[in-house]
Amino acid sequence: MAVLGMESFGHLPDGAVGSADLLSNRWTSVTGNLATIDLTGGRKKIYSTLGGQMVFSLAAPKTTIYVGFRLHNISGSNENEIIEFRDGASVLGLLVKNPITNTIRYVRGTSYLQTTVLQSVGSTSVGSNDFWVMKIIFDNVAGAVEFYKNGALDSSVAGVDTINAGASCATLSFFVAYVNSQNAFALSDFWINDATNHGEVAVVYRPIYADGSSTDWTPTGDVTNWECVDEVPPDDDTTYNASSTALDLDQLKQTGMDGAVGAVVAVQAHIRARKEAASAGTLKVGLLHSGTHSQSATMGLDLAYQQFSAIFEDVPGGAGWTPAQLDAVEVTYQNIT
């Protein structure tokens, strides 16, 4: 699996969601209004209220991608564009929900009125929590689209034109033309990759609960390092950890899955941070397991708080993940400059 992005929105507060809340992973911009509703397991679903959308930028353009998402509630009277696939200024196609047939479909073009390449067979009933995976091969002649519903192949088409203009997908925009209330649809448990369909998944948010073996950063506003960064929603400068020394490292224990799942696809470490001076400030996000440390690339800080995350498809020092390994892993962040 080559994970490009995954998100549970477990760190977000209820109510309005803005650009600063979503600037994690590769969510690059937010327009309009978005909001969240609590789900079980620390997860949230997100919806658009007044034309709000969020844009996800791929690391490099892809000719084949998989997009997984849980679709909550497909009611409403209007067709709405769930995802727009774009290559720069060119719109390749759209994923659209049809409230009349309670289905989803891929449309080649810039409007839901244009050419339907594939429509799902299985319906998604009002209020359901169906997990959908969409595979797209972008090509003028040999393109393909596949829909998977709750882990099973629903419908597919191959050897077709799947590109309106452009050549490959560089960005995905969620909630493209959404104008109604939350009753139309909401989404959760996104994942995006360019390799393998993994069927039904849930992206579960797991908070920290204790300090690990390294607490170099200085806590402010509470006694321990973990207590200064465990708030949902975050309280920013009320309680926080700070460091002015390069290579200072904090390691924090997280709650793990407690045997709740049979497999772990990938783990995303996620923190919220800022710098206090105009000079350069950078950090790395990581995971520690059995004494082995895996870290992200160096990330640059801004004067305003931002979300920073890194996806780890393999346990530090090994291959793949087991639930027991996830239970034992610690989340880390390190001051680089």
Q: Over the stretch 303-319, which tens digit does the pLDDT of each residue have?
A: 988 888 889 999 999 99
Q: Are 168 and 212 in a shared domain?
A: no
CA angle 62, 97, 7 (to 5 degrees): 50
Give domain status of residue 200, yes or no.
no
Give domain status of residue 251, yes or no.
yes
The maximal CA–CA distance of the chain, rounded, in angstroms, is 62
Whether the per-residue pLDDT at 182 is higher than 50: the answer is no
Encode burial over 118-130: b for 16+ CB neighbours within 10 A, e otherwise. Answer: bbbebbbeeeebb
- For residue range 13-37, what is the model confidence (pLDDT) as tens digits? 777 887 777 765 567 788 878 888 8
Q: Measure the CA–CA gap between 90 and 93, rounded to whole angstroms.
A: 9
Give domain status of residue 198, yes or no.
no
- For residue range 110-141, what is the model confidence (pLDDT) as tens digits? 998 899 999 999 988 766 788 999 999 999 99
Please provide residue 225's backbone torsions phi and psi, each rounded to the nearest 5 degrees. -65, -45
Q: Which domain holds residue 165?
A: 3-193
Q: Are 111 and 244 in a shared domain?
A: no
Q: How far from each other are the two terminal CA atoms of the chain, in whole angstroms?
A: 32
Which of 4-8, 206-210, 241-245, 282-286 is predicted least confidently?
4-8
| Residue that has been written with the tokens 């709750």 in this structure | 150
Whether the per-residue pLDDT at 41 is higher than 80: the answer is no
Q: Are 329 and 297 in a shared domain?
A: yes
Give domain status of residue 319, yes or no.
yes
* Mean per-residue pLDDT of the chain: 88
pLDDT the model gives residue 239: 97
Domain end marker among 193, 218, 253: 193
Of 113 and 282, which is predicted with more confidence? 282
Q: Are 32 and 116 in a shared domain?
A: yes
Average pLDDT over residues 54-76: 89
Give domain status of residue 287, yes or no.
yes
pLDDT the model gives residue 261: 65
Give the CATH number for residue 186: 2.60.120.200
pLDDT the model gives residue 121: 95
Quote the number of domains for the chain: 2
Give domain status of residue 199, yes or no.
no
List residues bridging with 214 in a β-sheet: none
CA-nearest of 165, 112, 168 to 136 is 168
Query: What is the sign, positive or negative, of the torsion defined by CA atoms of 309, 315, 318, 320?
Result: negative
pLDDT the model gives residue 200: 81
Give the CATH number for residue 266: 2.60.120
Do 216 and 124 contact (CB within 8 A), yes or no? no
178: confidence class by pLDDT, cuts 50, 70, 90 = low
- For residue range 184-237, what is the model confidence (pLDDT) as tens digits? 788 998 899 998 877 888 888 888 999 999 999 999 999 999 999 998 778 889
